[in-house]
């Protein structure tokens, strides 16, 4: 995580809220007016009581004072409501904006980012951390502004009675609104972070267990995993209990401090009145004002326990927004598909450097490809074979420009892919990786993602070529069957064929197929190889496979061994 001071994080977060500054001013204005009413009611009531016993005077008739009191009491409620509405409007607008920014950043950073990061932590940043920012936008900014303005209003009012009363009140506000929350925040900061890490670890452990349920059952690891689950949840509960105890101690300290400080103000007012420096009426009003004016500073004090967590969440979100992509997107107009005149890797060397692997294993910069040269002519079927781990899939990822080469160049139709508009590159190539991801959507929509405007006839032709049309027709709702309903019932081969149909539908001039037949029986394999052969001359294909029967259709074959090609 990048090191940013808390002030810097707050400043950056505030910067995001600039377009909603008008709403923020309205929220703060309503908050200040609301607290003025809240303090004004007891002060005016005290004034009226003093006037009634002849110890003070009222600017209006008694009846008018009662009416003003009623209006202020109602206004307090209305103003508080408007303030909260504004704050939540700002917060939810901004959350949508921040989510948009985060997804935009992820789009720029992928696929290298997703291959190289802990996806559990990433999901928690995209969801929980962004949610936490609601606290910042709805319950942090305006309370701070309101507290500062209320301190000025109260200071001016009490200063009008006697400067010493104003000084005492301002010092009390600073103690309640700044010193107490900072102390609570310091005390709970480490535990807050620990608690969040424990919660993230626990959900990761549960998810991992669910995904690997088959293995857990098969190897009888259920009891030990349950024991670990118990241990982790007990640790989390203990940490949360500690946090709550600290929060409660903070609240008790705040309430206690308010009582002591208000009493001190009362004693000072009494002393000033005794010394003839203020009137008895002034002393009473100053005391009532002080007792009833701590609301905005209590709101500030309540931030103490959440502020560290909110700022840490903001920091993680900013980390994603600030991260430089490993592969910079090349802008360019979408739509027109450029001609395809072959693709070539020329003397390419590559390593997954910069700690881009999930476990940081490749941070050592181990060379995966070492001066590799391959070329694919239009319409040609090129086979790539080699031992597991020799770099075949990596080569395809470089042809797709998921990563940039360290040395040499990948050229599409003679142009370095680093200069080809990313959208044009994606249009020119279709890549079927070893695992096909199917979205929780209908089979039709899962396929149309490759070409949204495709007709039913084109869809069917692609599925026939991938030898999956008959299977789809046998499903209860044919092409409209939901993949989610099928759950895990789709076999590896069926998923693989759907992935191929998607790529055929994309109709790119270059197809990169990573082990496209590994899960297929010989009948389906033969059908797909026939489809690929039929397209020979119309579409170039890079075919990675360990199967001699699949490699037999290649026009030329490269062999990879330890990052070198022959």
Ligand X SMILES: Nc1ncnc2c1ncn2[C@@H]1O[C@H](COP(=O)(O)OP(=O)(O)OP(=O)(O)O)[C@@H](O)[C@H]1O
> Phi and psi (nearest 5°) for 504?
-60, -40
157 vs 403 by CB, closer to ligand X: 403
Least Cα distance to 44 among 23, 21, 71, 20 occurs for: 71
Least Å distance, CB 394 to ligand X, is: 3
394 vs 524 by CB, closer to ligand X: 394
Least Å distance, CB 387 to ligand X, is: 7
Contacts of 143 (CB under 8 A, 6+ apart): 31, 296, 299, 300, 303
One character per residue 298-337, x = contact with ligand X (rule: CB under 6 A)? ----------------------------------------
| Dist CA 418 CA 409 (whole Å) | 9
Query: Is residue 352 part of the contact set for ligand X (CB under 6 A)?
Result: yes
3-state secondary structure at position 225:
helix
| Dist CA 550 CA 406 (whole Å) | 31
Query: Is residue 350 part of the contact set for ligand X (CB under 6 A)?
Result: no
| Dist CA 432 CA 514 (whole Å) | 6
5 vs 364 by CB, closer to ligand X: 364
Percentage helix, strand, coil for the chain under 3-state DSSP, each rounded to 5: 65, 10, 25
Among 362, 407, 518, 559, binds ligand X (CB under 6 A): 362
Q: How far is CA 120 from the centre of its chain?
A: 11
- Piece of the chain touching ligand X by CB under 6 A; list 165-173, 212-220, 288-296, 349-357: 349-357
The helices-and-strands tally (H runs, E runs) of the chain is 22, 10
**Dihedral of the alpha carbons of 147, 247, 9, 108, in degrees to the nearest 10:** -130
Please give the structure tokens belonging to residue 560: 């990879």
116 vs 143 by CB, closer to ligand X: 116
Cβ atoms 425, 397 nearer than 8 A = no
Least Å distance, CB 120 to ligand X, is: 17
132 vs 565 by CB, closer to ligand X: 565
Least Å distance, CB 389 to ligand X, is: 4
What are the angstrom distances between the C-alpha of 98 and each of 61, 95, 138, 332, 353? 54, 5, 14, 25, 30
Task: Show the CA angle centred on residue 37, arms to residues 90 and 166, nearest 5°.
Answer: 100
356 vs 550 by CB, closer to ligand X: 356
375 bridge partner residues: 344
Task: Show the CA angle centred on residue 276, arms to residues 275 and 277, nearest 5°.
Answer: 90
Among 45, 48, 51, 115, binds ligand X (CB under 6 A): 115
Cβ atoms 4, 32 nearer than 8 A = no
Could you tell me how many residues of this chain bind ligand X (CB under 6 A)?
A: 14
Query: Is residue 504 part of the contact set for ligand X (CB under 6 A)?
Result: no
Least Å distance, CB 416 to ligand X, is: 22
Omega before 123 within 30 of 0, i.e. cis: no
| Dist CA 139 CA 134 (whole Å) | 8
115 vs 199 by CB, closer to ligand X: 115
Least Å distance, CB 357 to ligand X, is: 3
- Piece of the chain touching ligand X by CB under 6 A; list 12-20, 36-44, 352-360, 438-446: 352-360
Alpha helix (H) residue ranges in 443-542: 443-448, 456-465, 469-473, 483-486, 492-506, 522-534
Query: Is residue 368 part of the contact set for ligand X (CB under 6 A)?
Result: yes
Least Å distance, CB 368 to ligand X, is: 5
113 vs 539 by CB, closer to ligand X: 113
35 vs 558 by CB, closer to ligand X: 558
367 vs 444 by CB, closer to ligand X: 367
190 vs 389 by CB, closer to ligand X: 389
The torsion region of residue 360 among left (phi > 0), alpha (psi -120 to 50) and beta comes to: left
Least Å distance, CB 115 to ligand X, is: 4
- Piece of the chain touching ligand X by CB under 6 A; list 41-49, 102-110, 189-197, 382-390: 382-390
Least Å distance, CB 361 to ligand X, is: 6
Scan residues 72-91 and list those touching ligand X (CB under 6 A).
none
Contacts of 146 (CB under 8 A, 6+ apart): 28, 31, 32, 35, 296, 299
362 vs 481 by CB, closer to ligand X: 362
| Dist CA 369 CA 51 (whole Å) | 91
209 vs 355 by CB, closer to ligand X: 355
Query: Is residue 349 part of the contact set for ligand X (CB under 6 A)?
Result: no
Query: Is residue 357 part of the contact set for ligand X (CB under 6 A)?
Result: yes
Least Å distance, CB 516 to ligand X, is: 12
Least Å distance, CB 122 to ligand X, is: 15
**Which residue matches tokens 């020329």?**
346
Least Å distance, CB 253 to ligand X, is: 50
Scan residues 384-413 and list those touching ligand X (CB under 6 A).
386, 388-394
383 bridge partner residues: 543, 557
350 vs 471 by CB, closer to ligand X: 350
Query: Is residue 356 part of the contact set for ligand X (CB under 6 A)?
Result: yes
Least Cα distance to 10 among 318, 323, 311 occurs for: 311
**Residue numbers of the site for ligand X (CB under 6 A)?**
115, 352, 356-357, 362, 368, 386, 388-394
């Amino acid at each position: 995580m990048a090191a940013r001071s808390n002030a810097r994080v707050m400043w950056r977060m505030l910067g995001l809220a600039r377009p909603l500054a008008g709403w923020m001013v309205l929220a703060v204005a309503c908050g200040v007016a609301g607290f003025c009413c809240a303090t004004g009611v007891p002060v005016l009531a005290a004034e009226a009581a003093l006037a009634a016993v002849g110890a003070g005077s009222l600017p209006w008739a008694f009846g008018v004072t009662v009416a003003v009191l009623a209006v202020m009491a109602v206004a307090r409620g209305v103003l508080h409501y408007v303030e909260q509405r504004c704050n939540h409007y700002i917060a939810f607008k901004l959350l949508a904006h921040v989510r948009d920014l985060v997804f935009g950043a992820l789009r720029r950073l992928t696929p290298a980012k997703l291959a190289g990061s802990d996806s559990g932590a990433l999901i928690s940043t995209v969801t929980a951390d962004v949610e936490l920012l609601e606290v910042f936008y709805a319950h942090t900014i305006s309370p701070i502004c309101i507290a500062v303005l209320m301190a000025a209003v109260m200071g001016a009012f009490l200063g009008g009675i006697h400067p010493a009363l104003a000084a005492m009140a301002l010092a009390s506000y600073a103690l309640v609104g700044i010193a107490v929350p900072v102390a609570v925040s310091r005390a709970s900061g480490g535990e807050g972070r620990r608690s969040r890490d424990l919660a993230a670890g626990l959900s990761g452990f549960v998810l991992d267990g669910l995904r690997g349920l088959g293995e857990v059952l098969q190897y009888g690891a259920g009891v030990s995993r349950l024991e670990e689950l118990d241990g982790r949840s007990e640790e989390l509960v203990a940490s949360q209990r500690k946090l709550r105890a600290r929060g409660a101690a903070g609240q008790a300290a705040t309430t206690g401090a308010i009582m002591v400080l208000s009493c001190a103000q009362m004693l000072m007012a009494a002393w000033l009145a005794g010394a003839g420096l203020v009137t008895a009426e002034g002393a009473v009003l100053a005391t009532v004002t002080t007792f009833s004016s701590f609301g905005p500073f209590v709101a500030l004090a309540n931030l103490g326990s959440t502020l560290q967590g909110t700022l840490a969440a903001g920091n993680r979100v900013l980390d994603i927004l600030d991260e430089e992509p490993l592969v910079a997107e090349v802008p360019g107009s979408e739509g027109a598909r450029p001609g395809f005149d072959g693709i070539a890797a020329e003397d390419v060397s590559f390593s997954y450097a910069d700690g881009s692997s999930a476990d940081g294993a490749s941070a050592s910069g181990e060379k995966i490809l070492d001066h590799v040269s391959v070329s694919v002519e239009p319409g040609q079927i090129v086979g790539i074979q080699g031992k597991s781990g020799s770099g075949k899939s990596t080569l395809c990822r470089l042809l797709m420009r998921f990563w940039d080469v360290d040395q040499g160049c990948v050229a599409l139709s003679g142009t370095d892919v680093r200069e080809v508009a990313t959208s044009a590159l994606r249009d020119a190539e279709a890549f079927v990786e070893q695992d096909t991801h199917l979205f929780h959507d209908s089979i039709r929509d899962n396929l149309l993602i490759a070409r949204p405007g495709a007709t039913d006839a084109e869809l069917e032709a692609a599925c026939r070529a991938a030898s999956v049309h008959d299977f789809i027709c046998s499903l209860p709702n044919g092409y409209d069957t939901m993949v989610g309903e099928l759950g895990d019932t789709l076999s590896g081969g069926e998923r693989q064929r759907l992935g191929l149909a998607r790529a055929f539908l994309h109709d790119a001039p270059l197809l990169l197929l990573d082990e496209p037949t590994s899960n297929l029986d010989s009948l389906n394999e033969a059908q797909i190889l026939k489809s690929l052969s039929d397209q020979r001359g119309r579409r170039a294909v890079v075919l990675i496979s360990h199967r001699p029967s699949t490699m037999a259709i290649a026009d030329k074959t490269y062999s990879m061994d330890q990052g070198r090609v022959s």
